[in-house]
Amino acid sequence: MTKYWRTAAFALLVGALAAPGCGPPGRTKEETIEVKENSGLEQAKQVLNNYAKGQALGSEVTSFDNIVARVRETDAARADVLQKGFADLQKPKADTKAKAKEILKALEPKMTGGS
């Protein structure tokens, strides 16, 4: 019988402590957060930066074609650079770190001289 009362007292205590945390109804403020999707080029740069820092190729290689296709929608020249670069990265004995840095440099906007 004592065990029953201890269990009941414990349950009441837990309920009393938990109830104030719920707060009164209707006081919760809803907020909409807009999450912007990374462009294909930004996604490619993130992956390449990881490789440039020494990360090994992983399962993300399966998304290379998708990344290239997304970049091609806005910039065909950079998509070609990425397609070749991603293919080179997957070759056996490729120096991933150096190749990633090379691809990143090739993706940089070209400065044009003007007067």
CB 57 within 8 A of CB 89: yes
Domain count, the chain: 1
* Reported confidence tier of residue 23, pLDDT bands at 50, 70, 90: low
Task: Report how far Cα 91 is from the mean position of its chain's Cα atoms.
Answer: 25
pLDDT over 60 at 21, yes or no:
no
pLDDT over 60 at 31, yes or no:
yes
In a domain, 49, yes or no: yes
Phi, psi of 16 (to 5 degrees): -65, -35
Report H helices in 1-115.
2-22, 40-52, 64-72, 76-89, 96-107
Q: Please report the pLDDT score of residue 24 as a whole number.
A: 61
Range of the domain at 88: 40-106
Those residues whose C-beta lies under 8 Å from the C-beta of residue 101, and which sit 6 or more positions away, are: 52
* Reported confidence tier of residue 18, pLDDT bands at 50, 70, 90: low
In a domain, 19, yes or no: no
In a domain, 15, yes or no: no
In a domain, 51, yes or no: yes
